[in-house]
Structure 1
């Protein structure tokens, strides 16, 4: 059922954006990004948002002042974030550690946290008011690497919204930085995990040698349009709790039921989405599963490393094979793609980047999924307790709508723990997607209205 969140309207009063610089002098130097960091597919800004309740015992403390001061102190340790990206020969990105600072906005909203309701999930109402797009700040090069807005709410709670230049860090690394701000906001003199740069650990080898198959970087002609129409998109979020996952599992023979929830949900959503978009049967369709590869390295990457450490492994099939075969066919494709990611795979990606001019991953008829349930956004504290919601602010990746979904931890109104998954599709395709997903759950003994559309815009 649709939430009233989509109709919530409020206004935000913002002060002029300011620059927050490190509170102490920091080194002025050039620091190269890794060859994983500076690929084309990460050259965009990614937004996250955190909602916090009022704590009456902290009535004398202003979250804006606390976070602004803690940010300046944290930037002493994470001083590259206060610099600017430059591009060198062969499109190589580097940070000019200028200590110019990050953009910071102080704001007040005439709304309470309670008015957002139980369905506190993307897409968020009045999003542009909660993280103001400062003119001239959207570029990748020569602009602030972080934009932060702290918005006080009428109830005493607040919203912390952040936009990051993705070439600098992935989700796990960003949480490490945000946690450091929170620790210093609560009185620590330094972060519990000190940041480590060491980006050369994920640089290309000399000479580079691409040893693995990387279909995610194939040049694919966009013969029929990636997703059409781009100007008539529907954004919805869907809740998957224990009963929904169990219903999908009933489609799988007993010998395959050891599959993870991620594998099952990804295969199901990819199949339903493909049916909804109605490509020709002979058209190739692709699933990209973001894989955090930190655990793949031996010796391990140093604790505190805060670069990008994930891969975009891809499975490819035709639309006809995906939709005509039962769900286990798609599950095996997903599992195989994920299993391909080992340490050698990451080195091979870095080598491909320098030999192929840092290409973008293939978006043509692709669906990208990213599981952020273990990233820890909801664990970040600034002194007011854990976030009521913490995580991605949107369901897309980069400038291309409809390509990506995040898997976000969520507890519904019944107290069930599950996932909320934002989906973006053309308006008519969204109707077909909902119907197809309804059919999957209804035919497997879950009432169709148990598909909770927790928010819709």
Structure 2
């Protein structure tokens, strides 16, 4: 796929009354903004024709930025605050002299990165957009937003607002922008759960840490030596396959218990399959990092339209031998219990603990520079997030996919473009592990 960049510019907020705020304001990042990944997350949206001209999409973006002002600002103070200076977002226009059907990658491929601006090297713009027009009239929109500004739900809200503004409709509902005051610690603080080595850890000397990690990798058998590069595989999970998984996972539950959810059943199955494919020793401990949205868990609840991050993580864990030898329902129960434990009390405990993080010099365990997660996994699920709400006037996207992200052990779950209740799993593994995974991934045990 040959992508030609036609232009690159900065789009600044466009205010309805024509008057921008008189003074730039520094807004402190919340405790949840600071603990998450300090990097851009990129998504690709594909639209069939007809589509509005780039100028209308650009104007819609400018109007949406006037309401979601943090996206047009800049992170300052060592990533402790965002400056609302209306510096703007990056807006790139590109073309492909071929139809989308024959030129856009059909599966996970480095070529996907050509459809959004470069996000490595810490770009200063917190939002970067690329509109790529194909000869058939189809449009690919690459959106990259800095994770410390918004989680998945907040990003989806912004994308829906961008679509409304492009269609010249009122932006409703408006975002709730109170990240600097909403999550205040209690007086006195009450830290009821361990948060060190969970959300935060003490920094270790680089040299000693690297040696320790290398020794650990060799001990459990996934050192880089002898392994091919990481590959990303797209696995289709049909509606029938998902239904069979849920039934198998829930088969041993008593009548008084509700069955396991689609998410719990699918992640349990993939956790077991990936662990088996890696060929790890039975005594090795494996865990999964699972994002937990706190909007409905915290008391009082956080509004769905809150603009920022409200995410912590659950970490179900098991030794390898027990995980792969016991039925899928065992893994589903581990996931269920771990996620259930990240409740209002846990979120409040974290808020109280995070108030002291800087004094202790702790750093987040969410490390975007980690290239290999084995024996662990990290799951990003978009199953409950409506990214299809981005509509410029010709209907929502027919396809939404993550960018190519070859971090070993990463797992993306995305609703299928078929719209029939099926889903796609993007699995990143070493090539020799991936071949075994593909051989066993549809076995339900």
TM-score (normalised: structure 1): 0.82
**1:226-265 map, 5 Å:** 228-229=223-224, 232-249=229-246, 251-252=248-249, 254-256=251-253, 258-265=259-266
Correspondence for 1:23: 14
| Equivalent-residue separation in structure 2 for 1:50 and 1:409 (angstroms) | 13
Corresponding residue number in structure 1 for 2:205: none
Q: Deviations over 1:140-168 (max 9, x none)?
A: 7xx11011001111111211111111000
1:281 offset after TM fit, Å?
Answer: 1.9
Q: Does 1:155 align with 2:159?
A: no
- What's the CA shift for 1:250? 5.5
Who is 2:365 aligned against? 360
CA shift, 1:358, in A, is 3.9
Query: Structure 1 residues 303 and 248 mapped into 2: Cα distance closer, same or farther (>3 Å)?
Result: closer
Q: Distance in 1 between matches of 2:351 and 2:30?
A: 8
Alignment of 1:196 with 2:176, yes or no, is yes
Contact 1:14 1:108 in 2 (8 A): yes
The answer for the alignment partner of 1:129 in structure 2 is 114
Match of 2:60 among 70, 78, 87: 70
Cα shift at 1:73: 1.6
Q: Which residue of 2 aligns with 1:38?
A: 34
- CA-to-partner distance for each residue in 1:290-327, whole Å, 9 max, x for gaps? 12221113322235311111221111221122122222
Check conservation: 1:54, 1:158, Cα contact below 8 A.
yes
Distance 1:421 1:11, change over 3 A: same
- Cα distance change on mapping 1:394 and 1:272 into 2, 3 Å: same
- Relative to 1, partners in 2 of residues 1:176 and 1:53: Cα closer, same or farther, differing over 3 Å? same
Match of 1:449 in 2: none
Q: CA deviation at 1:369?
A: 1.5
2:91 pairs with 1:101: no
Alignment of 1:283-302 (within 5 A): 283-302=284-303
Q: CA deviation at 1:376?
A: 0.7
Question: What residue number does 2:330 align with?
Answer: 329
Give CA deviations for 1:369-420 in whole Å, capped at 9, x if unaligned: 1221221112310112110112432456xxxx023212111144xx743010
1:138 is the counterpart of 2:121: yes
Q: Which residue of 2 aligns with 1:452?
A: none
In structure 2, distance between residues paired with 1:411 and 1:98: 38
Q: How does 1:424-443 map to 2 (within 5 A)?
A: 424-438=428-442, 440-441=443-444
Q: Distance in 2 between matches of 1:365 and 1:171?
A: 26
The offset of 1:213, in angstroms, is 4.1
The match for 2:192 is 211
CA contact (8 A) 2:13 2:66 kept: yes
- CA distance, structure 1, for counterparts of residue 279 and residue 131 of structure 2: 42
What corresponds to 1:279 in structure 2? 280
1:346 maps to which residue? Answer: 347
The CA distance in 1 between the partners of 2:304 and 2:251, in whole Å, is: 40
- Is the 1:48–1:391 contact (alpha carbons within 8 Å) kept by the matching residues of 2? yes
Distance change in 2, residues 1:167/1:212 (3 Å): same
| RMSD over aligned Cα atoms | 2.6
Segments of structure 2 that go 5 or more residues without pairing to the other structure are 202-208, 368-372
1:259 Cα deviation from its structure 2 partner: 1.1
Partner Cα separation in structure 2 for residue 355 and residue 248 of structure 1: 43
How many residue pairs get matched?
Answer: 410
* Mapped partners of 2:423, 2:314: distance in 1: 22
- Is contact 1:410–1:417 with CA below 8 Å preserved after alignment? yes
Question: What CA distance in whole angstroms lies between the structure 2 residues aligned with 1:185 and 1:419?
Answer: 29
Q: Is the 8 A contact 2:162 2:390 kept in 1?
A: no
Q: How far does residue 218 in structure 1 lie from its aligned partner after superposition?
A: 7.2
Q: Structure 1: where are the runs of 5+ without partners?
A: 1-9, 445-457
Q: TM-score, with normalisation over the residues of structure 2? A: 0.84
Which residue of structure 2 lines up, in the alignment, with residue 224 of structure 1? 217
**More contact order relative to length (CA 8 Å, sep ≥ 6):** 1
Alignment partner of 2:409 out of 389, 392, 403: 403
